[in-house]
Amino acid sequence: MIDIHCHILYGVDDGASDMSVSTAMIDRMADMGVTDIITTPHFRHHMFAYPQDLIMEAFNSLSEYASSKGITLYPGCEYHVSHDIFENLGNGRVHSLADTSYVLTEYSYSDSLDRIINYTQELVMRGWKPVIAHAERYEVFHRKPHLAEDVLDAGAMIQVNANSVLGLDGRAVKKASRKFLDLELVDFIASDAHDLGERASRLDECCAFIRKKYGEKTAHLLFEENARRILQDTP
């Protein structure tokens, strides 16, 4: 499996609190058969805007440990979208996903469909491939999950959290994630792991569920094949 959304780097957002938590999170991922992780610390104004050198210090210090466990780490970022995303991606203040043309974009849960679509279109126009982080959390899709099709039409891809599918993030979120799966709107399932507790990675459990309900081919696509396209920067 490949995880494209994970807060495994310590001390750079609300994810792993220190190095021992990061290494324990890596151990857990290795045990469940994860081979590649894109590390995606938050970038969000007035909340998370850590300097690149601090992020890369944590990244570099964990890369060797991860590789001893058979896991390759890649730099990345979960960008809480605002007007400066274009500039910050362009000048390298933040990493895209594995430094490719794919970008992990997050919105506020009450954001309008128009806002999501407008930013998606603008990113696509500038040559980026936006991935909507945990799309099942946005309220606009809770009552009308099929509206996610409009976001796909605008050129985005949809990432869903494993824990949402498993029902650990509330009923509305679970329902939306299941509806997206039924409608075949999902491109990636990722852990969005923050810790070893409530927000731990449960990719293995979710993959078993997907395999059982939607078949081996779908599980392979959502947990590995599509994510491999990000790492290779192919469409």
* C-alpha pair distances (Å), 105 with each of 21, 90, 218: 25, 15, 23
Q: Which stretch binds Fe ion (CB under 5 A): 29-37, 63-71, 73-81, 210-218?
A: 73-81
| Shortest Å, Cβ 68 to Fe ion | 26
Q: Is 13 in the site for Fe ion (CB under 5 A)?
A: no
What is d(CA 145, CA 151) in angstroms, rounded to the nearest whole number?
A: 11
Angstrom distance (rounded) from CA 5 to CA 164? 14
Do the beta carbons of residue 115 and residue 144 sit within 8 Å?
A: no
Say how many C-beta atoms besides its own lie within 10 A of residue 16's C-beta: 28
Q: Report how far residue 55's alpha carbon sits from residue 77's, in angstroms, rounded to the nearest whole number.
A: 10
CA within 13 Å, CB half, 72 = 7
Closer CB to Fe ion, 36 or 78, in the complex: 78
Contact with Fe ion (CB under 5 A): which of 3, 78, 136, 187?
78
The window from 24-32, 95-103, 175-183, 188-196 that contacts Fe ion (CB under 5 A) reads 188-196
Rounded to a whole number of angstroms, the minimum distance from the CB of residue 136 to Fe ion is: 13
Which residue number, 9 or 234, has a Cβ lying nearer to Fe ion? Answer: 9
* Residue 88: count of CB within 10 angstroms of its CB: 15
Q: Is 136 in the site for Fe ion (CB under 5 A)?
A: no
Does residue 204 belong to the site contacting Fe ion (CB under 5 A)? no
Alpha-carbon separation of residue 8 from 27, 90, 165 (angstroms): 11, 25, 21
Measured from the CB of residue 48, what is the shortest distance to Fe ion in angstroms? 10
The answer to whether residue 192 forms part of the interface with Fe ion (CB under 5 A) is: yes
Residue closer to Fe ion by CB (options 106, 204) is: 106
Q: Which is nearer to Fe ion, 143 or 177 (CB)?
A: 177
- The site for Fe ion (CB under 5 A) is made up of 78, 192
